Amino acid sequence: MWALLKHTSVKSMAPDYTTLSLTDAAAELAAVARDARAVFGLFDEHQLNWRPDAASWSIAQCFDHLLNANREMFRAIDRATEGSSPPSIWQRLPVLPRVFGAMLIKSQMPETKRKLKAPRTAEPASSAIDAHIIERFVAQQHEAAERVRSLAGRDAARIIMVSPFLSFITYSVLDGCRIIVTHERRHFEQARRVTQAPGFPRRA
């Protein structure tokens, strides 16, 4: 099992996240759920909370961060699709959302080495996280995939949302869905690297 984790990738070829359709994004959300359960689902609480060093996140923190970030992203998507608040000046600008969307998707690519600080509202817990974190993430993924599929028939490429983390950044709801998926793959790979770090507690 450990050799498999070390030398293979769950996904042999990453998709082009910048061109995902809503259908593609929903399928990717379901795929991340399957991969998370397959790779991390049997780990115990000690393994999930083990950290390579004080500056690094544990597996559990990676997925707690995703739970928090996804919750904020879908709240922002809901506000945009429901039109529950008047459009901001940033939403009314025709070019910036396209620029920001592409830039953010590329910044979250799994192969990107640059470290990014998590927004305060998406920070993971600093204390021990219970062993059910993976199942909570999987459950959220299934709900997220359904919510993305429910956008079918809407022009998600033209509905502009405001970033829940920086109010001057806007992008289309479609790009928002792409950002969610790309961000998940980035932290999935970060969690996998934890299992490859020296000293990771392996069960017999």
Task: Report the chain (204 residues): mean pLDDT per 10 consecutive residues.
Answer: 41 78 97 98 97 96 98 95 71 59 71 76 94 98 97 92 88 95 96 96 78
Burial (Cβ within 10 Å: 0-12, 13-18, ≥19) of residue 53: exposed
Asked whether residue 7 is assigned to any structural domain, the reply reads no
In sequence order, what are the beta bridge partners of 160?
Answer: 172
Q: What pLDDT is recorded for position 110?
A: 73
Asked whether residue 166 is assigned to any structural domain, the reply reads yes
Q: What pLDDT is recorded for position 2?
A: 40
Asked whether residue 99 is assigned to any structural domain, the reply reads yes
Asked whether residue 109 is assigned to any structural domain, the reply reads yes
- Predicted TM-score (pTM) of the model is 0.85
- Give the CA distances from residue 108 to residues 4, 21, 117, 156, 178, in Å, rounded to whole numbers and listed in that order: 25, 17, 12, 20, 10
CATH number of the domain residue 52 falls in:
1.20.120
Asked whether residue 1 is assigned to any structural domain, the reply reads no
Domain hosting 46: range is 17-195
- Mapping DSSP to helix (H, G, I), strand (E, B) and coil, where does residue 102 land? helix
Asked whether residue 84 is assigned to any structural domain, the reply reads yes
Q: Total domain count for the chain?
A: 1
In whole angstroms, how large is the CA radius of gyration of the chain?
Answer: 17
